[in-house]
Structure 1
Amino acid sequence: MTDALLRDLVDAARSAPSAHNTQPWAPRIVDGAIELGVAAGRTLPIGDPTGRDTLVGLGAWTEAAAIAAAHAGRRLEVEALPAMRDPEAVVLARRADPVARLTLGDEADDDELWSALGARLTYRGPVQRVPGFLSAVAATVPDGMRLVPIAARDLTRFATLGFADILARRGVAEELAAWLRLSPRHPRYELDGLSDRVLLLPRAAAAAGAPFTRRRRLRDAAAFLARHGGDLVRRTLLEVPVEAAGDAADADHFALVVDSNELSLGSGAELTRVLNSPLGLPAETVFDAGRALMRVWLQAAQQGIAFAPHSEVLDSALAQGELEYRLGLGRRAVPLFVASVGRPVEQSPPRSPRLPG
């Protein structure tokens, strides 16, 4: 009975979000518990070298499982394991050690977010702003975390600068292209990655770009051009202001920020080690932020609101630095996620595919 319920939780958690729809989780049921690991080949070691996006995704997956457990009347106990702090396990997925162990606990009341699990949506097209949404959900974020609004004009600059900056880094364009699915003929079109439908690409553009995602020689040539083009755009943006487009102005934009000065991180050398780490936070805190983010995303789904993530802002040290300066964030305030939110104008937006259970 226990294993059957755990299998149901694993199946329900498949709907969790992840960067580039990589779905980096590798759960397995062992001795009446779920051991959550990181799937080999499903991380972004070049674009996400700190493992931030992977940890946020694993946290979101765990929260989805916890919501499903509550719907079944059980509490899900979550134990972070040492591998969660190991880049070999999280960033590179070279270790098979689980990063967390999930066990069924006492009885729990049903979670009202259960009905939204299947309705969660990522959408990058035109949206309508829902007044008051951000302020309403901000009150539900745990202590030590907050949702900080971003002006549309600022986000346009951060996102454009970030995208240009990361494309200028060697290997990023190739890594991104490996997760693009621009034609139904791609063998993984219905499994993972970012499809032409989800990216809302015109058919002609998708057809022209598809060969660059499947043929190594073409992909390398395109990546070379992207690096040099990205560098040119990056240099230009440092001098020229960018205006927000209409779509950006019609949405709400925010950053999920963790205030580490409100956390118990120790003192002296221990605190310095955490603050100077690549993440700037304990891995467990980033994981917990993913859990909080999942709840915010599902509250949005209950109102028909979609998220458009902007991982390019935080994947670029240059863009992140500008964001932190513009938002007035101190050294101990760490942004972990940036997104735009709004109700899609399109009636039936496309959804990202999922790996089979």
Structure 2
Amino acid sequence: MTLRVASAGQLSADQVTSVLRSATLAPSTHNTQPWLFSNGAAGIELYADADRTLPVADPDRRELLLSCGAALFNLRTAIHATGFQPAATLLPRRGDPDLLALVRPRSPATIDRRIASLAKAIPRRHTNRTPFAASPVPAEAVGSLRHAAEIEHAWMPRLDAEQLDGLKELVGESHRLQANDPAFVAEWRRWTGRGQANRDGVPFAAGGETAADDAWVLRDFGGARAPGAAPLVVVIGTFGDQPLDRLRAGQAMQRVLLTATALGIDASFISQPVEVPAIRTRLRDLLGGGLWPQIVLRLGYGTPVAWTPRRALEDVLLDPPSLSA
């Protein structure tokens, strides 16, 4: 397919190409990359790619919206680092649930050094599934990560020892439920353990664990309980649980991940307790009932791992474009 990128708002075609490439570097469940883009004079549209849903692990598209929210944050950040203000409208077209956002690169903007730092972290961020070292995540860094979530209308509550013990139990229980579900395992196997030639899914070199192995899910988990121990296990949540809340949560997640990357901190996802609906409800109760848990992260310092691939830009561009007025 021939790459056809037009200018958008104040951005030239080359600049649009650059910011779209940044958007596609966002994380996604099983590296499904469930996003599509359209661009034209009005701006850049972000769509959910309905063909890349996970009907077993993500039947209500919650994680798809988180992934697309992460791509949206990358897009906004890259546009700002180019020197323009990204005016984003979420869910701009009633009746079209796949159109998630319209971003209009408008007037020139003074580049915020903090956002420029996040933009530089975009190509360096990747999920690290290796065991983490015993070096603790500094308290100052934890404060920066918590602030990053709050800027994007999400919250990263402090978990006490009792809550962390409860979370560990929920992780193990939800993992066992998934590992004993043939449909989940079949879906998981379709997307993991792939060769490096694939442009999506998780290559074996980047993961390698098996869906039925409990050890990797709980490894290093207990270290989060004791001050000065590693890794750190955190939950990112929102007060609502509608599509708009989930899209915002994805942006918060990515801001947290890029902040971590800029600070030299690695991260991986503990997806099981938020993928099993009954366990997610119990996790919400564990957090006090006010927040809907959206993401559970493991943060620390790992060893270098292989990067997951990305689809070619021409494969995620809609042709012809269909821009909102």
> TM-score of the superposition, structure 1-length normalised?
0.72
Structure number, greater radius of gyration: 1
- Name 2:170's counterpart in structure 1: 158
Distance 2:100 2:78 in 1: 20
Distance 1:295 1:176 in 2: 27
Q: Is there any run of 5+ residues in structure 2 with no aligned partner, and where?
A: 1-6, 224-229, 314-325
Distance 1:165 1:82 in 2: 37
- Partner residue of 2:21 out of 11, 17, 22: 11
After superposition, give the CA deviation of every residue in 1:223-273 in whole Å (9 maximum; x if it has no partner): xxx8xx89xx9xxxxxxxxx964465221011111124xxxxxxxxxxxxx
Q: Which amino acid aligns with 1:64?
A: N
Residue 84 of structure 1 deviates from its aligned partner by 8.0
Which stretch of the first structure deviates more once superposed, 161-170 or 283-292?
161-170
1:247 and 1:160, CA in 2 relative to 1: closer, same or farther beyond 3 A?
Answer: closer
Q: Does 1:114 align with 2:119?
A: yes
User: SS in structure 1 opposite 2:150?
Assistant: coil
User: SS in structure 1 opposite 2:238?
Assistant: strand
Q: Does 1:123 align with 2:133?
A: no
- Name 2:270's counterpart in structure 1: 310
Q: Which amino acid aligns with 2:254?
A: M
- Name 2:147's counterpart in structure 1: 139
- Name 1:284's counterpart in structure 2: 244
- Name 1:93's counterpart in structure 2: none
1:351 and 1:153, CA in 2 relative to 1: closer, same or farther beyond 3 A?
Answer: farther
Residue 340 of structure 1 deviates from its aligned partner by 0.7
Does the aligned pair in 2 maintain the 1:130–1:342 contact within 8 Å?
Answer: yes
Residue 9 of structure 1 deviates from its aligned partner by 1.2
1:100 and 1:254, CA in 2 relative to 1: closer, same or farther beyond 3 A?
Answer: same
Does the aligned pair in 1 maintain the 2:90–2:100 contact within 8 Å?
Answer: yes
Identity, % of aligned positions = 23
Q: Is there any run of 5+ residues in structure 1 with no aligned partner, and where?
A: 91-97, 206-225, 234-242, 261-280
- Name 2:205's counterpart in structure 1: 197
Q: After the TM superposition, which residues 26-105 of structure 1 pair with which residues of structure 2 at under 5 Å, given as runs? A: 26-81=36-91, 89-90=97-98, 98-105=99-106
- Name 1:320's counterpart in structure 2: 280
Does the aligned pair in 2 maintain the 1:84–1:283 contact within 8 Å?
Answer: no
RMSD: 2.7
Q: Which amino acid aligns with 1:193?
A: G
Q: Which amino acid aligns with 2:37?
A: P
Q: Does 1:148 align with 2:149?
A: no
